[in-house]
């Protein structure tokens, strides 16, 4: 596997909190010095922009890698499904043949309607959308490259998402 960065190059990685992913071992990035931002799905949003700005502005990160992954749990629900589940109960749900359900049906809250949980409908599109969001954010320098990859959790390989790569290019 080719190195994706120079040795000891500082970078920022936005990736999923899934415990099967080890950001220190992403192929091609092992020799970099990475500031790792993790959340459910590895999705970009205003909160992740905060960390990306600090990683670049104060820590000198030279590139941003958005790395989402196959078999992500964020592909197994929609905002509506999660809001309905939360309204019924706040306890852990169970994934069964027909999707998620609550074994306990009490003590819920309607407050989920105020949150976008950023579930993923299409993995490639999600990487494209998030690279686009970061690229277009007014606080992210146009001079910093943004790369979009999908990690295959079975093989550990990183597959570039070509459209995201194009959008994430440095702009002169
Ligand atoms: Zn995930």
- The domain ranges of the chain are 10-74+119-167, 78-114
Angle at 105 between CA 103 and CA 106, to 5 degrees: 135
DSSP 8-state secondary structure symbol assigned to residue 92: P
Alpha carbon of 172 to ligand 1 centroid (Å): 33
DSSP 8-state secondary structure symbol assigned to residue 93: P
pLDDT at position 172 is: 81
Tens of pLDDT, residue by residue over 46-75, are 999 999 999 999 999 999 999 999 999 999
Tens of pLDDT, residue by residue over 114-163, are 999 999 999 999 999 999 999 999 999 999 999 999 999 999 999 999 99
What homologous superfamily does CATH list for 10-74+119-167? Answer: Carbonic anhydrase (3.40.1050.10)
Lateral strand order in the sheet of 10-16: 33-39, 10-16, 64-69, 146-151, 158-160
Range 6-14 average pLDDT: 96
Alpha carbon of 157 to ligand 1 centroid (Å): 15
Residues with CB under 5 A from ligand 1 (ion): 16, 18, 72
């Amino acid at each position: 596997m080719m190195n994706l960065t120079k040795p000891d190059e500082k970078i920022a990685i936005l990736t999923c909190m899934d415990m099967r992913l080890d950001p220190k071992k992403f192929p091609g990035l092992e020799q970099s010095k990475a500031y790792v931002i993790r959340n459910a799905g590895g999705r970009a949003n205003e909160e992740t922009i905060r960390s990306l700005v600090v990683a670049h502005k104060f820590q000198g990160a030279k590139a941003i890698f958005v790395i989402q992954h196959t078999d992500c749990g964020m592909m197994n629900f929609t905002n509506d499904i999660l809001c309905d589940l939360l309204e019924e109960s706040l306890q852990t749900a169970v994934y069964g043949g027909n999707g998620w359900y609550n074994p306990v049906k009490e003590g819920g809250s309607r407050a989920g309607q105020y949150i976008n949980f950023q579930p993923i409908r299409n993995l490639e599109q999600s990487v494209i959308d998030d690279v686009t969001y970061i690229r277009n954010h007014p606080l992210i320098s146009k001079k910093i490259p943004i790369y979009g990859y999908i990690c295959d959790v079975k093989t550990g390989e990183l597959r570039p998402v070509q459209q995201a790569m194009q959008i994430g290019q440095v702009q002169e």
